[in-house]
Structure 1
């Protein structure tokens, strides 16, 4: 149960804990680590096995994470009072006397839930310095064990979704008589810059720096170890700073990732290392020898989670269909994947003045303020401009004006032709009803490209006519009408699949509301339980049939639906029941979504008349043509969302086939569950079907995906040195963004990070980092929308306009600067958010 620290490196992590394992590895690699010994987790388990320990552990396992506090406090009290077995006590005392008889030691916790790649647990478990004598050592060891159940540690484990009942080892080390100590980061933990070293140091023991008890000397070093920032009369000399930077870089190379290091110089000037762990907060970025800029595909697609491996492979295939257009704007031809975060290399567009403005306009139309950041980088001296004279402008396809004119003249016929074409293509993706797993996989392989490129393959003329008609009308009205007024014309647009989905869910809620017993049952039952009953077919008829009809039409959709690997609502309808519960609580005047939509459509028609009447009589011909184009554009605008809906239907069809293949691989015991195929690509699924066991691979990838999913923020633009350039936001007088949907609304903010299970009260203002179609049912009760990214043609803002709610998007840091419950006023015409009640 007692190991020399140098021996701990050869032991499993669950025996010695994260800190001891790292220190042992550093020792074996030749880094200067103070000698010591480890009281292993086996000792802790032996202590916990006595008395009430087993019962208390069982009690903890039976409660949900958010209710674990009381059980944890009982465990803590137990560990502090239960007797330590005599043989264990003797072994600890003898190891201490061999190390430093009556001398000062450091006693440090080393939990199995500590110093993980995605969660450092910094400061969550106890450390005791200057401990002297066997009695004090035993008491400190016991207190380290008890710190496993401190309130802060239990909450941290619950927040980071790690093991609620880990074990803990304890390290006892010779205490360094520190002249100066502190912490070292081999990358800037604030800016993310990998080429900077940050060092904080103060005289005496390093614990004072780590705990925040003193204000340390702060140093920032450059890539060559030169001091960029720091006091001239601080506790560290240039030679010591250089030595720290050098050892930090060695540790980074050894562990393969930027490190957070604790260090100390003793009175003889010798450097000692007392800890090294991953810096867990750095966002993953592509590595490059030269500085390069990247745009996040995740942000562009409106999702704040990493892609699954299958989803990443599908999105790459989808984007290849856009490669000619995208490369003409300065985007890289291929997408880079770093831990599920996908990036375009945009360095060429940033450096090329001829491409930069077009790239910026494209980026802002979908995910503002990305485009403004691109323009900002173009002025950065680190990205010198390249000559653009030899860059041939992208070839513009000749507009088929005659076909657009036909679409304007007969919009319903033009829309119907697109829908028929889409249905024909989707029918070809259905796949075999009866087939072997090999035949199913072959089918998926054969149609994958067609599914991923269906958006580009659908006829575009009617869709283009819908957008172009509004643009031409705006030009005809220029000088008499501003852009936001033209945008207001496109509220309540018909034939949009996403809007129709939201209204279908509202109708299902309305039917349930009429049945008092069903209404009460739904509101009193958890969404997860309702989903299980739905799949089992045991819900009250009005709920069962209403949700089944909804899923038949829209079960292909989901939050983050562009990721092929994400379960659809048909697979797991729990989010649908959460949204239904939200809608069923929306009662009162003005809350009927269908009525609101009809009113928005009527108001838009009246707006067309009002705007075109502003032209003088002498320009009557322009007014007549503008009115015609706006009305026809409204009839065709719903097609904006149709290609994406077709893609989701195609994805759902292929998922059905792949999951059946996954079931066959599970039966062969090469995967644990059918859904594991989403953590492979198609080539690997083929290998699994042929006999290769992928269980370990999938388990690792799933842990990585879950780790990355917990990241709180996703930067839209990042540089290869780790920095995330951003536009400064001043919340003093309010916030500004892109005016995306006209109107003004005042209400209490509701900041939501995940729509699945979220609730928004009628009249509240939805504030989110980004949205995709899976968020839009929340728009039915929201008074307005604010997002950190988004553009005029992104899915969320398109649907917000059609539901008639004001929207301001591309507001940097909105989810941090606005808090739930805060009263804000959103002006979707001016693109502003003001705090407090709007003056009248």
Structure 2
């Protein structure tokens, strides 16, 4: 009995968009650059090969229009990435596509392979999508197309895109259906050496049969050819003594192929080929990706910003804070007369977490003579000083030359900011109050668009005011600390002493919670209610509200929410519910207060502040003469006042984020009502520029569901990863941190071949079969070999060790693209027998060694 596939059943009609007359077209030499969006990178590359008059097997391409039509037909029925993949595998195909496939592919043997729009472009996505070989019949081809489409939404592939710092959103997918060649032998031609980057040396790897042994790192031969002559410079083989598979005329032909394709691509190309009955067939062309970094290093840290926004940021939050922060920092530096290049990257995201580029901050700020890296990093949260020793210092000449122009501006800011800040705060509070009094529900789409424009202007100007007072604080801090150093005072006086006892806005919610705790402690009834499940506390309080103590507590709680209801843990994250929306966190805190042996009163808190200020005064008084002491106290007073103003303006920025949240939830409500998104909170997985475009034109929301599903999957993937070190070195595109060389001495060492640069230390995960295997983030993948089936395991791995293979094998190529350190050909002794799962090892992809650590 034959199993009936979705294509065998009575077919529901999934219609094609009218603008397309066909979903399947032949691959020809006439495919131009303008067709790339429709046919994808692989089909476009095959068209180029035909234009170069290379021997290409007959091929067709299922266009991106078919993929878009399929996704459009199922996207409203799915909730997450897993349901989307399942729908692509099982939902009816567009009727027009089924008809075309049945007409074209009733006979013959075919290969079904991905042709992603991004493929063969500036970034390579090799090994990320599925391929099905040796397919016969239209039904099997339809199943292969489904599998290729579904592979685009594989969580591992999405994580790979995100690791490359691209949006993570897959573009449309075309599918190449190519006539199968059953080769005598096959392999890969690199028109340039991908390891040494020699442009005049081509490299050919070959193996018997389909050539899977080449990309899998199994038994192969590799030929190194001089270009353009085809002269054999070197021959390497895993089977010494046997006759080489390739001889002079064929090698010369490969050199000619190299020249032809490079004239079209204008850069190095890797060519997948097959040899059958005296003919070389070209199966695929793509640009060479080597994973070669230029060696540039930078130090990144979230020691400061990580406190404000720990963990993974949603796309909406990141899209706002990224531009806001970068723009604000550049303007703040510019106000001090410092040059910031337009391309300078001051803010970045790693594993979804926000980081600051300390190297750029130190480089730019180094033009100020009195501002040392230690001072700057202490202000930023500490850490990274030793890694910044090699950062190039900017000359102070420009800064000093501009002082006649910038000094009045700096002094003006120092004078104006303290005067303007209170007026701006009053203005902001009035605007904020007006905003929350306005019923956004009743606004038209056009009025809502205008509201966002006003909100962005208010937020930007508030941010600039915050940065102005922050700059004032930075300058006054530097003057104060440098003044102490000049008198030989300082090491015993750190930030904690200079900044103790400030009256800061951010402390007010805590004080208010303390007062609520004190009220609760006086009532056994409140103690009992608050000791219950926090999620049920509010309902229990309402039930008991007839009692005076409970009613008084609820009145105080209402007052607390009115004053601080816009605050919350991770409040810089727009998706975080505020205390006015979710009071469970408050009850959790209060439960701890109830059990505390002692709660300080507001007066006790103030007395502690006074004592700290007195201690500082006494400490400095012993070191400074009276006149010098008065100057110090003036500087200290200015610094502390600037610190308090900075904290106050930070609170206004938080108010602005609360306004943003309120606004975007209204947008989410409308989109949900229009069936553009499924849930109101899905709005946080869009970007501000996308929402802005939707407000101008509601048709811009057609693709929102797809974007949200993908970004949620990436968000969850990032959340599952451990936090990067708070400070790390970025070498090229790889996160590394210093390894104590002394700690490595005396460890066992296994030698192999360097395959992908970088160094990583982690627990080994030894896997002999990829089926059902998993790799935890940060583990080192240890395998006998790696073909395409292993690729999903690479995403979470911190490094790869392989028994077989060489620098041109699939594992090496993919590891370089993933920027994962890799060592291959570690076979004496066999690495999978020496290393056990759980062993602590270091992969050194620069030197080609694996270190085994004794614990």
TM-score by length of 1: 0.50
